[in-house]
Every structure is written in C-alpha cells, then in structure tokens.
Structure 1
Amino acid sequence: MKLVRHGEAGRERPGLIDAAGVLRDLSGVIPDVTGATLAPATLERLAALDSQTLPAVDGSPRLGPCVGQVGKFLCIGLNYSDHAAETGASVPPEPVLFTKATSAIIGPNDTVRIPRGSTKTDWEVELGIVIGTAAKYVSEDEAPQHIAGYCLINDVSERAYQLERHGTWDKGKGCDTFGPVGPWLVTADEVGDPTALAMWLAVNGRRFQDGSTATMVYKPAFLVSYLSQFMTLHPGDLISTGTPPGVGMGQKPPVYLKAGDVMTLGIEKLGEQRQQVVAD
C-alpha cells in the first residue's frame, strides 16, 4: 500500500495510490497520515478498503511529505561501505547518529533553498524508515514489527557547515528545505526486502549516484534495534539510513549545488522526487 499526503503545504489531506496509479482521497477514513494512523490495525483496515469506492483526486496536486507531524528525524552517517570509501573515511564500528530538524521536512517535489553563505550544498539519496509502533529496547528480530514502511529521502547537506564549522554535523544537515520526504510511504509488506533496492540521483540530468541498499552496512532492522537502546522510537518517527557513493563532495573535483540546478532521484518501489534549487 502506498500512502500519500496531498494538497498545499500545511493543509495536506491523506490519500493512497491505487493499483492503477490513481490518487484516492482518504479524508473520509483517516484524518491524516501521521504516527497516530500508522498502527498495524489501522494499516490493516486501510489495506482492506475497496480503493475504487474512494474519491479520485482530480489533476496533479502537490504531494506533501508522506508522513506528517514527525517527532524525530534521525539519520545515520557513513552507512554504505562504498560511500565511506569515497569520502576517505573508514566504516564506523557502530552507526553514526545525527539528527535533522523536523523543520527541514518538505514535500518530494518542493523547492530546495540554498542557505545564505552556503558554498558546499550537497545531495544524498537515502532509504527512509517510518516507525509504526513504539520501540524501546527491542531486539533485531523484534524490530521489523515496529516498522510501518519505507520512503525516499533526499538528505540535503551543507558540507562546510557540517564539517568545517566545528561541533556536530547537525548544523549542516537541518537547514530549511533540507529534508524532502516522499512521494509515498510504502508499507513494509509491499516493499519486501529493503536491503536489495536500486537507488539513484541525478543533477541536471547527469547521474551522480547509482547504487543499491545492498551495500548498506547496518541494515534497517539492526538500526531500529540499535536506536531503541538509546531512546524510544515513536510512531511517525523517521530514520534516514545513509547514502551510496556519488555525492558532490566525493567528485574530483567536488561538485556542489547552485541556484537553477534540478535534482531528480529515486529508489526502486519507493517512487521518485524532483527538486528545483534556488538561493535563499
């Protein structure tokens, strides 16, 4: 099942994509796609609906972030062996954890704004995990039952802020618009194995990232278990799981985003995004 949120920013309505690719409105069934509506019983109820009885949405409305009211936006760094190699870093002995501000979250095709003073704004196509039920001190075997589904995330990053301004990575990761999420929240049963998904990202039509979740070091179930040892993961929380090689920082010479650029990206089964880049 593919769940979406459609409409103008801040006033999105819940929906789903039916088997024919038609956007159907869910407003008469649930108030929104948030942590409160991602419990297994609710997902089962939605899956049992006859989608043909739901109103079709006319035109091509804006798609918002596929999950609303996100409590935590957690991210894992250097989680692809080939990406670690391109940055000259070694694979860490434990997952590298940082956070993105939830105010960075935008829709999958919304405009990305380069912050004032930025010189090294970069891209990262990533697999996102959406938590469905609270997870605290869960084992790796238990972790999948706490995952509602997966989504596509662009972990936009300002490398100078992240690596040259001292302190943690967060200041280069959480700028406004640095978290496009969606287009869909695809439920775990429809995704199947999340560790064998092709993923890619292009800038102005030139493909820079062309990888697979198969080179992910710490897999989704492990990450959910690992993070749950430090904090309770709540329904609707997002975990962005790292990126394959091909980021701008890894090019020789490095390539960074500028106003007028267009990013397109996708992950197998999870849809595609497109963002125009402008100066803030």
Structure 2
Amino acid sequence: MKLVSIAVKGRRTYGIRTDRGVVDLGRRFGSRLPDLKALLAAGALAQAQEFLDATPDYAEPELSFLPPVDQPAKIFCVGMNYAEKRAEFGETGSAPTLFIRFPDSQTGHGCPVLKPAASDEFDYEGELAVVIGTAGRRIPRDRALDHVAGYSCYMDGSVRDWQHGWYTAGKNWQQTGAFGPWIVTADEVPDPHALAIRTYLNGRTVQDDNTGNMIHRIPALIEYISTFSALSPGDVIITGSPGGVGKKRTPPLFLKEGDVVEVEIERIGRLSNRVVRDAIAA
C-alpha cells in the first residue's frame, strides 16, 4: 500500500495512491484520524487497507504532494553509512553518525527544492527513509523492524559550505530536503537491505548503489537511536547516502537553478524535484 499526504485546492489531506488515482482517507476517517501521523499512531493501517479498492477521489494532476509525514516529531539523519561514501570523506568512526533535520526543511514530490542564496555548494544526497509506525524505547534490533510502518525516498540536500564542523547548519535550510512521493508499507518491502538506490541529476546517474551496502543496518539504527530517544509513530530515520556526491567529484558537481534531481529506490518509487533559487536574499 502506498500512503500519501497531499493538498487539493488548498485542502490538506492524505490517502492511498493507486494506479487509478488517490483515495482520500482524510475525508473517510474525518477528525478521528486527521492526518497520516494520526493514522499510524492509532495503528489503523489495516483499516486504511479496506479502502484499497475504493473509487479514487483525485487524479494526480489535480493534487500536489506534501512530505508523506508532513510534521514528524523527529527526523534523524544518518551520515557516512555506505562504504563508498565513507571512503570519499575519509570517515573512520565506528558509531553511527547522526544529525537532525527539522520538519520545515522538507518539501514534497514535484515541489521546488530551494537552493539557498547564501551558498554555491548545494549538494544532492539520495537516501532511503524509514518511517516509524509503532512507538518504542530501547528497542532490541531483533524486533526493530516490527516498529517500521514503511519506507520512502529522500533527497537530503546538503549546503556544504554551511557544514561548519558538524552537519546541522548545512541540513536545515527551508525546502532543501525532499521526501516522498509516498510511503510504501513495510509488508511490500520484505528486505529493506536488498534495494537498488539511484540518484539522477538532469537524467544522468550520479549515485548508484544498493541498500545492502549500508554500514549500520536499519535494525541496528533503530536500536541505537531508541536507546537515547523514544521513537514515535511518524518519526523518520534517513539512513544515509551512497558515494558519488557532488562535493567529491572533480570538478565538484553542485545543484544549480533549473536542475532536476531524482531519487529512485527499487520497490518504492521515484522522487523528483526541480531546483529553484531561494527568492529571499542572503
């Protein structure tokens, strides 16, 4: 099942994306389950599934995509989690490298990604996003995947010249992280570590790897993070980017106005965004 958050004529809602269109779950569940995060918190995926064969309410041209979880309480990002990426940056640490994104730094599929006016080093990073479905603390890794609602694509845009010794300042500019197009529920992804992951820039492949090459796998990441921070339904863990980022190319390959950046993950889908210069001057 593919779960989406959308806007239709200024109204925000969520639903099931099918080949025929989008079934509006927000209209069907009403105030009881007003958004996708509430659906996950209520453990209501089985109730949503009952509408898989319902007549769609919208065709995709009628709507715009929001980040699948529009306002997650927490967005944990994992850095240096693929062997090639670690080699590019000379990373040698053994513990997961973590940093935080804020919800207002996100945008949805098909929406503009903003290149900050203050930077000429805006970089692409394609990643697998894990969406938590069941709350937990100190979750053991052998039960960690039971807490996952599903998976999505993420373009974790990096403002490299603002990564001042750490990542936070380079990762939280408005609309620099694209998330979507939808969440594919975990039952449709039997092994999240057997997925081809690719990033395209203007149709050219710039990253090409497999999630099986993660250094710290998803169960280990959930165990590690939940040791110090409780995880809640709708929380997002972005699991790291493969090698091939623009900063480490010769010459460097940074995003510029008009570029189209896409992240495609096997079994999940293809996230696509155009780069637009932020109209607010530095």
Query: TM bucket by the smaller chain?
Result: over 0.9
Specify the SS of the correspondent of 1:24: strand
TM-score normalized by the length of structure 2? 0.91
Q: Deviations over 1:205-246 (max 9, x none)?
A: 211011110110111111111100011011111110001111
Q: For 1:167-246, what aligned pairs fall within 5 Å after superposition?
A: 168-246=166-244
CA contact (8 A) 2:130 2:237 kept: yes
| Alignment partner of 1:24 is 2:23 | yes
CA contact (8 A) 2:13 2:34 kept: yes
Q: Match of 2:232, as an amino acid?
A: H
1:113 aligned partner: 114
Q: Deviations over 1:52-110 (max 9, x none)?
A: 334431351211111122111110000111111122323x2110010012111110221
| Percent identity for Structure 1 against Structure 2 | 38
CA contact (8 A) 1:121 1:159 kept: yes
Find 1:262's aligned residue among 251, 260, 265.
Answer: 260
Structure 1 residues 123, 185: CA separation in 2 closer, same or farther (over 3 Å shift)? same
- The separation in 1 between residues aligned to 2:142 and 2:154, in whole angstroms, is 25
CA contact (8 A) 1:87 1:249 kept: no
CA contact (8 A) 2:4 2:16 kept: yes
Structure 1 residues 123, 9: CA separation in 2 closer, same or farther (over 3 Å shift)? farther
Specify the SS of the correspondent of 2:200: strand
- The separation in 1 between residues aligned to 2:220 and 2:55, in whole angstroms, is 37
Q: For 1:153-168, what aligned pairs fall within 5 Å after superposition?
A: 153-162=154-163, 165-166=164-165, 168=166
- The separation in 1 between residues aligned to 2:197 and 2:12, in whole angstroms, is 27
Specify the SS of the correspondent of 2:27: coil
Specify the SS of the correspondent of 1:27: helix
- The separation in 1 between residues aligned to 2:37 and 2:223, in whole angstroms, is 19
2:4 aligned partner: 4
Q: How far has the Cα of 1:9 moved from its partner?
A: 9.5
Q: Match of 1:263, as an amino acid?
A: V
Q: How far has the Cα of 1:115 moved from its partner?
A: 1.0
- The separation in 2 between residues aligned to 1:11 and 1:169, in whole angstroms, is 34
- The separation in 2 between residues aligned to 1:21 and 1:88, in whole angstroms, is 47
1:150 aligned partner: 151
Q: Match of 2:6, as an amino acid?
A: H
Structure 1 residues 8, 50: CA separation in 2 closer, same or farther (over 3 Å shift)? closer
- The separation in 1 between residues aligned to 2:11 and 2:218, in whole angstroms, is 31
Q: Match of 2:57, as an amino acid?
A: A
CA contact (8 A) 2:43 2:134 kept: no
Structure 1 residues 89, 7: CA separation in 2 closer, same or farther (over 3 Å shift)? same
CA contact (8 A) 1:182 1:273 kept: yes
Gaps of 5+ in 2: none
Structure 1 residues 142, 276: CA separation in 2 closer, same or farther (over 3 Å shift)? same
- The separation in 2 between residues aligned to 1:88 and 1:188, in whole angstroms, is 34
CA contact (8 A) 2:21 2:56 kept: no
- The separation in 2 between residues aligned to 1:176 and 1:194, in whole angstroms, is 29
Q: Match of 1:124, as an amino acid?
A: E
Find 2:48's aligned residue among 46, 63, 82.
Answer: 46
Structure 1 residues 59, 197: CA separation in 2 closer, same or farther (over 3 Å shift)? closer
Of Structure 1 and Structure 2, which has the larger fraction of its residues in strand? 2
Q: How far has the Cα of 1:146 moved from its partner?
A: 1.1
Tell me the matched-pair count: 274
2:64 aligned partner: 62
- The separation in 2 between residues aligned to 1:50 and 1:133, in whole angstroms, is 22
Q: CA RMSD in A?
A: 1.8
1:274 aligned partner: 272
Q: Deviations over 1:247-275 (max 9, x none)?
A: 10121221111112111221111111111
Specify the SS of the correspondent of 1:7: strand
